[in-house]
Amino acid sequence: MTPLVGFSDWTLALLPRLFLYPGGLWMLAALIALLVAMSGRESRRYRSLLHDLTQANLLALATAWAALSLLPLPGTQPLPFPADRLSLAALLALSMLFDGPSLKREHGIAGTAITLAIIAPMSGGQALLHAGATFALADGLSLLAVAAGLAALVTEGAPSLSGGVRWLGWLGLGAAPIWHHALISNALWASLVYAFAIGAIAWVSSVVWRRTKSIIPIGAALGLSAVSLLTALLAR
């Protein structure tokens, strides 16, 4: 295969992912659901969304969008050249850094905890590409850590557009072992899992952790990540 053919195949496989599912239209629907769940319907009219778009950091948003569209969600065609978990986690981390001065210190630490949680289960294997193929205890702990980190990110209110897309990307990466389950085989199931996760995390962050500072979910995310890492190392 020549480099040009490889590039062409990649581009053809990328376009539906980028503009339909999991990026593009599906991403927009999921983002609206996330913003509504986090801040209520009234504050999320379409004018508010347009205003957010005009104020958005395009580079951070585009990087998060690209990461989301490359996720191995159910119902997507496999990419001709796969992207391993570390590459996607790095892309989402990069998106967070592009947010630059607008990024709060707590959000930076929460993002680091989520990145550690995503990477932790793969320390039990021997390849970056095969991480998450089967569901192990470390994967479950990692998923809980990601959920705690995501709750920390929305404790103080709805995220920005780039933060929201990144949130969806982190959720998709953290839930990678779930996507391999035989029952969850298409985009509808993936959407249901996302809807449930958004609702559950929104409820936890608004009811359980409403009166606490984000330090508690961040601490939970870091602790669970460390336990997940330890479990993966011991299970090898």
| Cis ω for the linkage preceding 22 (within 30 of 0) | yes
Among 58, 188, 200, 215, binds another protein (CB under 8 A): 58
Q: How far apart are CA 41 and CA 31, in angstroms?
A: 13
Toward another protein, which CB reaches closer, 141 or 202? 141
Site for another protein in 107-146 (CB under 8 A): 108-109, 111-113, 115-116, 119-120, 122-130
Structure tokens, 190: 């993936």
- The conformation of residue 168, written as its DSSP 8-state character, comes to H
Q: How far apart are CA 217 and CA 212, in angstroms?
A: 9
Segment lying near another protein (by CB under 8 A), choices 35-43, 146-154, 188-196, 225-233: 225-233
Toward another protein, which CB reaches closer, 84 or 187? 84
Toward another protein, which CB reaches closer, 120 or 202? 120
Q: Does residue 74 touch another protein according to CB under 8 A?
A: no
- The conformation of residue 125, written as its DSSP 8-state character, comes to S
Q: How far apart are CA 29 and CA 31, in angstroms?
A: 5
Segment lying near another protein (by CB under 8 A), choices 73-81, 173-181, 184-192, 207-215: 73-81
List the x/- string, 13-42, binding to another protein by CB under 8 A.
-xx--xx---x-------------------
To 5 degrees, how large is the angle CA 172–CA 196–CA 16?
A: 45
Structure tokens, 117: 């949680």
Q: Does residue 89 touch another protein according to CB under 8 A?
A: yes
Q: Does residue 75 touch another protein according to CB under 8 A?
A: no
